[in-house]
Every structure is written in C-alpha cells, then in structure tokens.
Amino acid sequence: MKFDRKASGQGIKTVCRLDRGKAFIEWSFTFLKEEHEKADSILSLIMRDRAGQTVLLCRQEAEEEELLVSVILHPHLWDCRDPYLYEAEAILQDSAGRETDRLKKQIPIRELRLHPRRGWLLNGGEFVLKAAEYMIPLHISRAERQQRVLKDFRLLKDMGANCIHTDPSLWKLCERMGFLIWQKNMAAAGVDLPCLTGEVGSGASPEQVGSLFYRYKAKWSDEPFVYIVPESISILPSGNLEVKIYSNCSRVVLYSNGELFEFQSGNEEFVFQEVPAKGPCIMLSAEGDDCSMSLSVHKTFASSLKGICNGYHAEQ
C-alpha cells in the first residue's frame, strides 16, 4: 500500500478547529492499493515543529473508517504575517512491520470560516480577503520560472494581497509566503480579481504592472505610500492640469513646481483639479505620511493623456 500523491492534498488532507487554546485536527488519507494486498497496513503519523521537536504522534490501522483526530495544545497558528508550518510525516507499514511508503508534508494550523454576520474569520479574528489571480509563466525555463514566480509573489505581498487564485503546483509556495488559496466557495472575496501574469515583461516590477498595482496597494497595504498616476494627467480647458494620486495615507499634499498647491483628506484615490501648469514642463511632487513621489510631466504628453516620468522617488 502507498499514498496516492495524485489525489487531492497529495495523499494527506487536514481540517482544523480551534477551541480554547487547543487545535483539533481531522486527518484524512488517500491510498493506492494493489488487488492482492491485504487490508492490514499500519499508519504512523508524526508531526514536528520548526525546531524538530515532536508535537504529535499517532498510530492506527491505515484503512480505519473513522477519521484520525488529534489534539495539539497551544499551537503556533499560521497567519499571513507569520506563515508558520509544521512538518507532518506519515509512514505506512505492512503486517510484518516493513515500511511500504513514507510521505512528508508541511501543515499549517489555522481555522478559516465564514461567519453569517462577521464575515470571514481567521483563527477567530475578523479577516478581510484581499485576493488576486496569478497566471503561472509557461514559456520560460524551469529555473527562470522559479525566480519569476518568487519575484511576482513578493510583488503581490507588497501590494497587500493575502489570498491567491493560482495553479495547484504553487499552493505550497503560497502557504510558505503567507497567502491563503482562493477557491470558488470564497466568492465573498469578489468576482473581479486583479490578475498578474508571470510571462516575460509583464510582471517583473511595480512599474511594469502599472497603476493597477498601486490602486490595489492603496486598498490593501498598510505601508504608507503615494503614487502620482502618469496616465491620468490631462490638460483642462483652463490650461491647468487634473492629477490623480493613489495613496493609503489619510492626507495627501500636492506641489506644483515646488509651490504648495493643495491638501486633501480622503481614502485611496485623490483627484486634484486646476493644478497650475506654468511652462512646458511641470514638476509635480506628492507627500503623505513619511513618503513622497516626484513626477516631471511635459505638456505635450499631458495633452494626449500620457505622462513622462523623469524620476521616481519614494521614501518610506
């Protein structure tokens, strides 16, 4: 008898329930069995923490009808900021004590559930799903693909995402980096997910991702920033400019050619009207909570709803 690594969960699935400092874990296993094999295999389960200390040891008949249920006292819970993983090792032995298979898997201890009034709860606390879709790159080498996926996942982390809808081959990486896996029964996350593709030239940096990155970062991230949206800048009938800024700061100030133009209080998106545009080139500077950005715009580009960025400066 062997574990069915092609089955859902690669042979091991867990369901966790938290109650007063205890984690109750239900284990289910999927096996591959030859027709001539006897139904007398023994399953041993060991779970260790990051220090290698054994926190759980179980043993039962492999084909026991009742689910294996274990209890862990005061577990280290997984969350997006601290994606702690335990290592589970399952061992199969035949009736003579000979090992027939061994499977290791990293296991998070967490409870995610949908409360009828409070919404999504992670480990009992309110949790806002910030879900994005990631398309795995296909037309590059395996080594290049691994590097690009890691870079893109860090980009999504910086954007403030905490949940990803992606190919199952990346689910392990999601859990290691602090992302939940978005599934169709999590429709409360929203229907239109921002999508990042890992293909060459489309997801290497915030600048290449463009304003979509900063729009969602303004919604999701706690790290203060301001971003002047180049493609939003346009010339009004008066000859002055309209400028849009994305920021998660509660207050943003805009300067035009070094002179204070206006303070605005708001949320996520700030639109400044009638910004003075003296001369062919205008230097715009925006400031928020200990962060800033400068953008140099030429009128010939602004008139066609395009911006040119001579220098980007962000201080965190």
pLDDT (0 to 100) of residue 310:
35
Domain ranges across the chain: 2-110, 128-219, 223-302
- Tens of pLDDT, residue by residue, the chain (316 residues): 899 888 888 889 999 999 999 999 999 999 887 766 666 889 999 999 999 999 999 999 988 888 899 999 999 999 999 999 999 999 999 888 899 999 999 999 999 999 999 989 999 999 998 988 888 888 888 888 899 899 999 999 999 999 999 998 999 999 999 999 987 686 544 446 677 766 544 444 555 567 888 999 999 999 999 999 988 898 899 989 999 999 999 999 999 999 999 999 999 999 999 999 887 889 999 999 989 999 998 776 665 544 333 333 333 3
Please check whether residue 296 is in contact with residue 308, taking contact to mean a CB–CB distance below 8 angstroms.
Answer: yes
Cα(153)–Cα(134) distance, rounded to whole angstroms?
9
pLDDT (0 to 100) of residue 64:
85
pLDDT (0 to 100) of residue 39:
67
pLDDT (0 to 100) of residue 190:
47
pLDDT (0 to 100) of residue 112:
93
Q: What's the CATH code, domain 223-302?
A: 2.60.40.10
pLDDT (0 to 100) of residue 309:
38
The letter for the amino acid at 312 is Y
pLDDT (0 to 100) of residue 123:
96
Over residues 121-156, the pLDDT tens digits come to 999 999 998 988 888 888 888 888 899 899 999 999
pLDDT (0 to 100) of residue 203:
46
Transcribe the chain into DSSP letters: -EE-TTSGGGGEEEEEEEETTEEEEEEEE-EE--TT--S--EEEEEEE-TTS-EEEEEEEETT-SSPEEEEEES-----SSS---EEEEEEEE-TTS-EEEEEEEEE----EEEETTTEEEETTEE----EEEEEPP-SS-HHHHHHHHHHHHHHHHHHT--EEE--GGGHHHHHHHT-EEP-GGGGGG-SS--EEE-STTSSSSHHHH-HHHHHHHHHH--S--EEE-GGG-EE-TTS-EEEEEEESSSEEEEEETTEEEEEEE-SEEEEEEEE---SSEEEEEEE-SS-EEEEEEEHHHHTTT----S------
Over residues 191-205, the pLDDT tens digits come to 466 777 665 444 445
Q: Which fold has domain 2-110?
A: Immunoglobulin-like (2.60.40)
pLDDT (0 to 100) of residue 188:
47
Domains 2-110 and 223-302 share a fold: yes
pLDDT (0 to 100) of residue 187:
56
